[in-house]
Amino acid sequence: MTDQTSIAPQTVNAGDIKTAIEALKQQFPDWVQDDTRQGYSGVLVDRNHLVEVARTMRDQYGFDYLSSATAVDYLGVEDSMEMVYHAYRTSGGPALVFKAQTPREGAEIPSLIDVWPGADFQEREAYDLYGITFRGHPNLKRILLWEGFDGHPMRKDWKEPYYEEEHKPFDSRWPKGYVRRAEELNAFGKNVKYPADLDLSRLNDTSEEALYSGMGLGVDVEKLTADEKLKTDRLVVNLGPHHPSTHGVFRMIVTLNGETIESLEPVMGYLHRNHEQIGERNSWLANIPYTDRLDYISSMGNNHGYVLAVEQLLAMGNRYQAPTYRAEVIRVLMVELNRLVNHYWAIGFLLNDLGAFFTPSLYAIAEREKILDFFEAVAGSRMMCNYMRFQGVYKDLPERIRGVANLVNDQVRDFNTMDYLTELINERLPRSIDELDFFLTDSEIIKARTIGVGYLPPEMAIAYSCAGPLLRASGVPYDVRRADPYSIYPELDFDVAVRYHGDIYDRYLIRLDEMRESVRILKQILPRLERTQGEDFFAGNKSIYMPRVPLGEAYGRVENPKGELGYYVVSQGDPKGPQNPWRYHVRAPSFINLTPLGQMCKGQKVADVVAILGSIDIVLGETDR
């Protein structure tokens, strides 16, 4: 088995998209044009008619799922900004890419929220970070930064306080090695930069007021409940950002009528670590460890999406070699193990959210440690694996798994890798999944708390661009591994798990289903591992992990445990100069899956909010990036 069997990314069904594009161009000859820039695909749409064209795409051509919407600033290349949209059909197939351009000054683009409500948060993010106004967006507030922040940081002419240069490695570090700590050059000794016209007399924190405005809190409750027997109070409850449900620093502002939720507004950005901006300063290769820290429970999956995206770009050049078969096998092995880790975690902590404090999660994450031991032995770290490389993986599986550093204490940990994996996959994992199933699925309390709660109908799930278990538990059998296959998934035998009730209980069940499917995949991976033993795990030249990236754009996506994880990368600028991504955007499932949270919670009791949140399964590293 060699390279021939590995499948080039996104070649399936491409003809179909061409037909759709041709038809669109015929229908709107003045508004829709081909994107003819080198290495780009899709169409450019006149921004004044964007909504109309988008509606046609959705209704006539069946692109009912807006996967990603993001902005790019082409300062210095074209002096314009543009919004890039990737729309898919839920029946499967590749993306229809379309873009709308706007001048940088007074940037404005019509909002697509009426066509695809899933654009809501993504447009707010583009407004926050790029300063693009979306005409028609009902709630255009900052989403990651606080209201009142000075400037729009992802614009190419905005400089962060610790700014050194556009490209890494910085001159101060390499090759001269003149290292300085950034704080020392800042007058405040901190990561801050005040605008020149800072008005000291008017310094007050308005970020909270701005948050609460527009929530309709001024309603006269007396009147509202005048004809009801049971008088209730309207109450605004703030949950988070520090709170005991284990989902990180997420905040919700809930308006209650009695105990019933009237509206819920998610507030995020408490872990906004500027992933994308740092990513645009980093070299292509140096972004891989950063992707680990997106969804920090499933770092392997994050690596996978990123390398797929960049490999698409590399494939446009001529020095590219597709990853070897062994590399693909190892990648799938890692990713599926990671899916198990994630779902163990999700189920354990969903139970936490339901009030079964810590006991179920202790059981759930016990087996996780076994998988992490394997990751540690292979990649060197338990959580932040930094394992995949363009055109392959970083290392082959080791012969034995053992604690090298502390052998005296760790005599129990010394296994043959294949034996360890075989036992893990054939016995331990299925057993522990069955155990969870046995203890939890029929529990009366769980059923009472979860069945029918947090209902998300399928049409809404699609419209809101939900992905992953959240989408599939609502009865939409959409799984990127099947809908738009990558790696060696086409030759593997597994089913797309789907459940139909769209409530918390089904979201719990579907995770169990998916774990079983993952084990099924892993069982097919084991013989492939044996067979390819000793083959090459890296296709390129090992002395340079990083070949030059040709100009162009690419969107690589994988089915991560939390949903569809996509990376939109653009290579631009000087083709001979330092190589950095011009744009590096992460389509984070945790972020977009939160869009319907308000809708799902409306009318529910306040005690269920945390459980509904838990059933979506978010990770803040990815939500806020």
Partner 1 sequence: MSDLSMRELHDTEFPIPVEMQENLAITSLSKIYNWSRRSSMWPMLFGLACCAIEMIATAASRYDLARFGMEVMRASPRQSDLMIVSGTVTKKMVVPIVRLYNQMPEPKYVLAMGACASGGGPFKEGYHVVSGIDQYVPVDVYVPGCPPTPQALMYGLVSLQKKIDGQSLANMDDVPWYGVGPSDPVPIPILGPEIIDPRQMELIRVQAERAARGESYGVRELPAAVLEDVSKRTEAAAGAAVAVAAAPVVTDAAAEAERIGRRMEALERKRARDAKLQQGS
Hey, which residues between 172 and 201 contact partner 1 (CB under 8 A)? Answer: 175-198, 200
Per CB under 8 A, which region of 236-244, 573-581, 583-591, 605-613 contacts partner 1?
236-244
Burial readout 371-391 (b: 16 or more C-beta within 10 A, e: otherwise): bbbbbbbbbeeeebbbbbbbb
- DSSP 8-state secondary structure symbol assigned to residue 5: G
d(CA 487, CA 222): 60
* Rg of the chain in Å (alpha carbons): 25
H-helix or E-strand spanning residue 306: helix 299-314
Shortest Å, Cβ 320 to partner 1: 28
161 makes contact with partner 1 (CB under 8 A): yes
CB under 8 Å to 550, separation ≥6 — which residues? 39, 313, 314, 316, 317, 571, 575
Q: Least separation, in Å, of the C-beta of 23 and partner 1?
A: 44
Minimal distance, residue 278 CB to partner 1, in Å: 6
- Considering only residues 37-66, where is the footprint of partner 1 by CB under 8 A? none
281 touches partner 1 by CB under 8 A: yes
Among the listed residues 26, 105, 106, 203, the single contact to partner 1 using CB under 8 A: 203
Footprint of partner 1 on residues 317-376 (CB under 8 A)? 361-362, 365-366, 369
Nearer to partner 1, 28 or 270 (CB): 270
Q: Which range in 269-277, 425-433, 494-502, 534-542 contacts partner 1 by CB under 8 A?
A: 269-277
- CB of 341: closest distance to partner 1 in angstroms? 10
User: How deeply is 408 buried, as exposed, middle or buried, from its count of CB atoms within 10 A (0-12, 13-18, 19+)?
Assistant: exposed
Residue 284 sits at φ, ψ, to 5 deg, of -55, -45
- Report if residue 226 touches partner 1, rule: CB under 8 A: no
Question: Cα separation of 472 and 507, whole Å?
Answer: 8
Kindly state the DSSP code that residue 230 receives in the 8-state scheme: S
**Residue 373 or residue 514: which is nearer to partner 1 going by CB?**
373
Q: Please report whether residue 589 would count as binding partner 1 according to CB under 8 A.
A: no
Of 65, 290, 478, 508, the one binding partner 1 by CB under 8 A: 290
- Judged by beta carbon, residue 226 or residue 362, the one nearer partner 1 is 362
Site size toward partner 1, by CB under 8 A: 73
CA distance 284 to 166: 14
Min separation Cβ 361 and partner 1, Å: 8
- How near is the Cβ of 189 to partner 1 at its closest, in Å? 5
> To the nearest whole angstrom, how small is the minimum distance from the Cβ of residue 520 to partner 1?
27
- Which one, 198 or 544, has the nearer CB to partner 1? 198
State both tokens at 390: 């363009």
- Nearest Cα to Cα of residue 36 among 4, 78, 1: 78
Task: Give the shortest CB-202-to-partner 1 separation in angstroms.
Answer: 9
Least gap, CB of 275 to partner 1 (angstroms): 8
- Among 188, 131, 143, smallest CA distance to 162 is for 188
Nearer to partner 1, 98 or 363 (CB): 363
Q: Does 408 bind partner 1 (CB under 8 A)?
A: no
One of 215, 315, 383, 526 touching partner 1 (CB under 8 A): 383
Q: Cα separations (Å) of 53 from 21, 25, 29, 35, 38?
A: 11, 10, 11, 16, 24
The residue length of the chain stands at 625
Applying CB under 8 A, the span of 43-51, 203-211, 226-234, 610-618 interacting with partner 1 comes to 203-211
Contact, 545 vs 285, CB < 8 A?
Answer: yes
User: What distance in Å separates the CA atoms of residue 214 and residue 401, rounded to the nearest whole number?
Assistant: 56
User: Of residues 2, 207, 260, 441, which one binds partner 1 by CB under 8 A?
Assistant: 207
Stretch that binds partner 1, among 17-25, 86-94, 239-247, 530-538 (CB under 8 A): 239-247
Of positions 205, 228, 259, 434, contacts partner 1 by CB under 8 A: 205
* Residues between 244 and 263 that touch partner 1 (CB under 8 A): 244, 246, 248-249
Give the containing element (helix H, strand E) for 608.
helix 606-616
The least CB distance from residue 364 to partner 1, in Å, is: 10
412 binds partner 1 (CB under 8 A): no
Minimum CB separation of residue 183 from partner 1 in Å reads 6
> Residue 492 to residues 2, 176, 330, 565: CA-CA distances in angstroms?
16, 50, 14, 21
**Smallest distance, partner 1 to C-beta of residue 219, A:** 28
- Interface stretch with partner 1, choices 72-80, 222-230, 286-294, 301-309 (CB under 8 A): 286-294
The residue to which tokens 């409940």 are assigned: 225
Nearest Cα to 297, choosing from 333, 354, 349?
Answer: 349
CA 381 to chain CA mean position, Å: 22
What distances in angstroms separate CA 290 from CA 129, 247, 282, 382, one per listed residue? 20, 20, 10, 15
CA distance 242 to 331: 36
241 lies in the site for partner 1, by CB under 8 A: yes
Letters for 113-152 (x = contact with partner 1 by CB under 8 A, - = none) are: -------------------------------xxx-xxx--
For Cα atoms 334, 276, 284, give the angle at the middle one, nearest 5 degrees: 60
Tell me which residues in 485-544 interact with partner 1 (CB under 8 A). Answer: none
